[in-house]
């Protein structure tokens, strides 16, 4: 006899406690990770300021940071570190969060999230057609920029060091990876 687990939806997600943990639902299954470290938050803040000022100056959308719900479906809710929505996707911003795929999702690796960010999230974001996905690796001091292709993501650029690099979708912004590390 086959047994089936409980499939959680946004309704159950809303009822989760505000206890400092980050809750996500991946295709109906609850995922819990600890709150980010100070190093993680410094990197997130530095990257947010860089991207947000560029996006604002160019008038090309909006950059938002965690905690923020990205509701990809009623049974798939994630809280990425950063999201970028190009102007034509701004209508996805609602009182509940981002309802649909943003243009870019950025995840900063920490010891407890490496597996989720490199496999689970990558598969989910591809399935829900998020055009761009960045993985920021503090240990390697590198940024990996992926672009959505048929069947999943392809690595477009792996950036490290002190030289400016353009990472999709920001082809007119030279990001110096070393500038985001604490």
- Give the DSSP per-residue string, the chain: ---------HHHHHTS--SSPEEEEETTEEEEEPPPPHHHHHHHHHHHHHHHHHHHHHT-EEEEESS--EEEETTEEE--SEEEEEGGGGGGB-SSSEES--SEEEEE--TTTHHIIIIIHHHHHHHTT-SEEEEEETTTTEEEEEEEETTEEEEEEEEESSS-EEETTEEEEEE-GGGG--
Question: Is 36-180 CATH 3.20.20.150?
Answer: no
pLDDT, tens digit, for every residue of 82-133?
999 999 999 999 999 999 999 999 999 998 889 999 999 999 999 999 999 9
User: Average pLDDT in the 136-161 region?
Assistant: 96
Supply the pLDDT for residue 33: 81
Which residue ranges make up each domain of the chain?
A: 36-180
Q: What is the pTM of this model?
A: 0.92
């Amino acid at each position: 006899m086959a047994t089936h687990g409980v499939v959680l939806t946004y309704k159950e997600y809303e009822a989760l406690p505000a206890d400092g943990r980050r809750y996500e639902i991946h295709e109906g299954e609850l995922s819990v990770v600890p709150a980010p470290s100070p190093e993680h938050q410094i990197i997130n803040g530095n990257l947010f300021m860089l991207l947000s000022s560029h996006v604002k100056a160019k008038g090309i959308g909006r950059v938002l940071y965690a905690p923020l719900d990205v509701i990809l479906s009623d049974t798939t809710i994630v809280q990425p570190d950063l999201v970028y929505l190009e102007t034509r996707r701004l209508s996805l911003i609602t009182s509940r969060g981002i309802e649909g795929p943003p243009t870019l999702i950025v995840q900063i690796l920490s010891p407890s999230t490496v597996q989720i960010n490199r496999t689970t999230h990558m598969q989910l974001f591809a399935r829900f057609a998020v055009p761009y996905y960045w993985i920021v690796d503090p240990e390697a001091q590198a940024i990996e920029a992926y672009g959505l292709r048929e069947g999943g993501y392809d690595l477009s650029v792996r950036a490290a060091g002190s030289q400016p690099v353009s990472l999709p979708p920001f082809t007119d912004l030279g990001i110096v990876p070393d500038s985001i590390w604490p």
